[in-house]
Each structure stands twice: as C-alpha cells, then as structure tokens.
C-alpha cells in the first residue's frame, strides 16, 4: 500500500509544534537571556489577518490601499513608545534588533567610519562587529578598553582612546549587559569631538520601561535601537527611537526603503498590548527581574559557582554570567543542563579568544522569562540547587529532568499582563 507521505509530513510538522509548545513553554526552566514570552492576549492578537498584508511606507502615507487598521494600531504603538520611553520620534518597522542596528549604522556612519563598540567576548552583539552589520555599511570597529572586574567599559582609558582615534560613533549596549554603561561619563568627550552616541537597548528595554535601568536618552544617547522581545516581552521585532528630528529622517530612510519593504504588520497589535502591559505592570516586573537575577547570582556563589562581577553585586540587569571553565566549559555545561530541561547558552567571557566560541569559558543566564511566570526568591534558590546537583555534585541530569518538569508546573501562567480579556 502506498504511504501518503505528504499527510505524514503534515503530521510531523504539527507534532513538532505541539512538542515545542509543551517542552519549551511548560516543562523547561528557560534561562536564555534574549527570549521571553508574550502575554496570552498579545499571543492571540499576533495571529490575525495583519500577517497577510503589506503596508509599505509611513503611517497614513502607504504605497498600498487597505491599510487603515494597520495605520490605526501602528499609530497607537508609536504613541505608546513615545510615552513609555519619553521620546519624540520612533520607527517600529525594523524586523529585528539587528535590522534596527543596521539602520542606525547606515544613518550615522560613512564608509571607512570608525565606531567604538564592545568586543564580542566583552559582550557586543554580533551586529556591532566588522563581520556583522557594521561591516555591511563599510564601518570599522575598535573595541572599548574594558574593566573585567566591573564588567563594564573602562571610562578613563576610553576617554584617552577616543581623543586619540576620534571615532564617528560610540555604540553602547550589547548581548552581555550586566550594568548600566557609562553614557553620562562619555557624553562630554563625545560632545567635544562631535561624536554621535548610539545605545543598543535590546536586552534591557523592559528594564528601561520599568525605570530600573539607566534612561539612555536622558544620559546622552542620540539614538536608541532595540529588539522588542527580551526584557520587554513583546513579539519578535525591532525599533528605533530618538529626539533628534534631522537624524530621525535619515534613520527612517535607512529603514524604508533601505532595509525593510513590508514590516510584518501582525507584530504591531501584539506590540501595542505589550506596551500597554508594560505601562501598567512594567515597574513591578522590572524590579522583580533584577531582584531575581541578584538572588540567583548569590545563590549560585553560595553553592560554589564562579559568578562574574561578584565585588560589584553581580548584576543590575536580568543577566548573570558564570565562569564554568573548571566544570568542563560552556558547551558541556549548557548541554548537561539541557538534559535536565534547564536551557542556557554558552558564552564567551572577556578573556576568551573568539576562536573558543564553540567551547567558551562561560554561560549566560537571564531570569526575565521565569520571573514573568511568577518565580521569585525561593525559586531562584531551587534553580541554583538544580544546577549545583547536576554540575557540581555530578548527579545524572536525565534523572533531574522529572523534578524540573514538576517544579515548572506551578509556573505556567504569565504574570504582569492583562488576564481574562475576552476577544
Ligand atoms: N544573539 C542574541 C542574544 O542572545 O543576545 C540577540 O540577538
């Protein structure tokens, strides 16, 4: 009998999606610092007819007919971003944080222009590098001098370096982002030399919205770029905001028609809901995130782990960075934890060469998603204990998996969001 392979393939896709939904959303302790989940309402609104449509161009000045509801929700989203981040101009069309960065690099640098960014081992996002978006626009990256103890840019050494190199752009923020960056401290030298400042807020946007992290525009950034799905628990996407009208015109052109044609309009209603939820619950959520990250870092140190920046309180964000070189390195540790349904990523540490990226010294942990599901101090302790048993006491991670699944059962409903909204 002929097997209906198409039917089987359809079933396999459905099974994979069901399995993903069950495993990653209900059974894992997810500690990936760049992820989060949308609220139930935002999730429902994400799958709408907006996903089938085009709306090239600006609100109310589109190149296609049929966009009146896109205009309506995008107009609201723009107003919400302006209010939440106290800014004048915003573009929500970049499809990701990387694209938002690319638009900023295009608008702020020339071919051959010099940019100061973190190095990747010290925390830069890959788009900040010559091999990433900076390279696409022909820029050249110089790494900031970095203070490993503080896990932050070395201000005095950077001032000296900036005066010598006279870069076009200082880029702050990145993928490892434990502490507020020294924006205020470097604004003066930037002003003296006419250097622009860009702040990549992707990891900390929700903490900025919750007013627990630095406010980049007030501290001297000319433009903020971001994704919309890390500590800000929205749909995957990007945005840019600034108070500089002339710069905004260049940014907008870089976004459309430079980088984006259609901007995947179905993101926007979900983003509206996320922004409304952050307006209402953002401060409480952000406070809980940072408290949990600090608690987890302390609990890990008590159990014998090496956490970076211990003398400086470990972190002021959602992230905790561990040196696991004595436990077999980042790759082994991340894989062992995955066997127990604890999901982290291996990460380069400041002293690692780029060539060690397959097995770097560190792992990076983010607590924003588990905080969203209501985990607090006791749960941070419990997570540290799971990690201790698997990584230090050598217990079989497969045996711990059932305990992790059972632990997760009490934390499956997102908090800090509208509940029971009928649509
Ligand atoms: N690479 C992601 C991160 O984990 O930080 C962001 O794009």
Reference 144, options 111, 168, 172; nearest CA is 172
- Residue 366 within any structural domain of the chain: no
For residue 4, what pLDDT is reported?
79
For residue 275, what pLDDT is reported?
98
- Residue 33 within any structural domain of the chain: no
Looking at the 3D structure of the chain, how many domains does it have? Answer: 1
Give the largest Cα separation in the chain, rounded.
79
HSE, CB side, 13 Å, CA atoms: give it for residue 85: 32
Pocket test for ligand 1, best of 175, 362, 369 (most atoms within 8 A of CB): 175
- Residue 32 within any structural domain of the chain: no
- Residue 166 within any structural domain of the chain: yes
**pLDDT single digits (tens) 53-69:** 999 999 999 999 999 99
Res 422 pLDDT > 90:
no
By DSSP bridging, strand 362-366 and strand 319-323 are: antiparallel
* Residue nearest atom 4 of ligand 1, based on CA coordinates: 34
Average pLDDT, the chain: 97
Mean pLDDT score, 103-108: 97
Q: Which two tokens stand for residue 370?
A: 């588990």
- Residue 56 within any structural domain of the chain: yes
- Residue 210 within any structural domain of the chain: yes
Mean pLDDT score, 268-295: 98
HSE, CB side, 13 Å, CA atoms: give it for residue 7: 3
H/E element holding 381?
Answer: helix 377-387
Q: 216: domain range?
A: 43-274
**Closest atom of ligand 1 relative to the 35 alpha carbon:** 4
Q: What burial class does residue 305 get, using C-beta atoms within 10 Å of its C-beta: 0-12 exposed, 13-18 middle, 19+ buried?
A: buried
**pLDDT single digits (tens) 22-34:** 999 999 999 999 9
- Residue 422 within any structural domain of the chain: no
What is the Cα–Cα distance from 314 to 323, expressed in whole angstroms? Answer: 12
201 versus 419: which is more confidently predicted? 201
- Pseudo-torsion of CA 214, 220, 223, 228, nearest 10°? 0
- Residue 235 within any structural domain of the chain: yes
Pocket test for ligand 1, best of 30, 32, 34, 232 (most atoms within 8 A of CB): 34
Mean pLDDT score, 153-176: 98
**pLDDT single digits (tens) 59-97:** 999 999 999 999 999 999 999 999 999 999 999 999 999
Res 371 pLDDT > 70:
yes
Ligand 1 residue neighbourhood (C-beta within 6 Å): 34, 97, 125, 175
Reference 263, options 255, 273, 274; nearest CA is 255
Give distance in angstroms: CA of 175 to centre of ligand 1.
Answer: 6
Res 3 pLDDT > 70:
no
Mean pLDDT score, 134-148: 96
One DSSP character per residue, 195-251 reads: -EEEEE-TTTHHHHHTTSS--HHHHT-SEEEEESSSSS---S-EEEEES-HHHHHHH
- Tell me, rounded to whole angstroms, the distance of Cα 101 from its chain centroid: 13
CATH of residue 93: 3.40.640.10
**pLDDT single digits (tens) 197-212:** 999 999 999 999 999 9
What is the Cα–Cα distance from 70 to 73, expressed in whole angstroms? Answer: 5
For residue 421, what pLDDT is reported?
75
Whether the predicted model's global pTM rises above the 0.95 cut: yes
For residue 1, what pLDDT is reported?
54
């Amino acid at each position: 009998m002929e097997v209906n392979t198409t039917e089987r393939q359809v079933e396999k896709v459905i099974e994979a999606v069901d399995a993903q939904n069950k495993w990653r959303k209900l059974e894992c302790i997810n500690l990936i610092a760049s992820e989060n989940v949308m609220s139930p309402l935002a999730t429902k609104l994400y799958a709408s007819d907006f996903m089938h449509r085009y709306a090239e161009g600006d609100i109310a000045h589109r190149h296609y007919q049929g966009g009146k509801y896109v205009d309506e929700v995008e107009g609201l989203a723009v107003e919400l971003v302006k209010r939440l981040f106290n800014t004048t101009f915003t573009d929500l069309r970049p499809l990701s944080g990387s694209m938002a960065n690319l638009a900023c690099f295009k608008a702020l640098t020339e071919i051959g222009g010099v940019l100061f960014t973190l190095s990747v081992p010290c925390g830069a996002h890959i788009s900040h590098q010559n091999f990433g978006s900076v390279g696409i626009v022909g820029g050249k990256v110089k790494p900031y001098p970095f203070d490993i103890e503080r896990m932050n840019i070395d201000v005095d050494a950077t001032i000296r370096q900036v005066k010598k190199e006279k870069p076009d752009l200082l880029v702050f923020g990145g993928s490892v982002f434990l502490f507020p960056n020294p924006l205020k401290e470097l604004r003066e030298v930037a002003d003296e030399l006419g250097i622009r400042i860009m702040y990549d807020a992707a990891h900390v946007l929700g903490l900025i919205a919750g007013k627990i992290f630095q406010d980049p525009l007030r501290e001297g950034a000319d433009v903020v770029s971001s994704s919309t799905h890390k500590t800000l628990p929205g749909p995957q996407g990007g945005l840019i905001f600034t108070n500089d009208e002339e710069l905004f015109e260049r940014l907008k052109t870089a976004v459309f028609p430079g980088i984006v044609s259609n901007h995947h309009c179905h993101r926007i209603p979900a983003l509206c809901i996320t922004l409304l939820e952050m307006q209402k619950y953002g401060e409480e959520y952000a406070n809980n995130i940072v408290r949990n990250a600090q608690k987890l870092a302390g609990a890990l140190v008590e159990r014998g782990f090496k956490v970076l920046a211990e003398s400086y309180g470990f972190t002021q964000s959602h992230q905790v960075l561990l040196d696991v070189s004595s436990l077999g390195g980042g790759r082994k540790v991340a894989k062992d934890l995955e066997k127990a349904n604890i999901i982290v990523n291996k990460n380069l540490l400041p002293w690692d060469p780029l060539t060690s990226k397959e097995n770097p010294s560190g792992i990076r942990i983010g607590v924003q998603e588990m905080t969203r599901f209501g985990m607090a101090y006791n749960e941070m302790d419990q997570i540290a204990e799971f990690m201790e048993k698997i990584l230090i006491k050598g217990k079989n991670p497969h045996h711990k998996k059932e305990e992790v699944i059972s632990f997760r059962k009490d934390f499956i409903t997102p908090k800090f969001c509208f509940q029971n909204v009928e649509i």
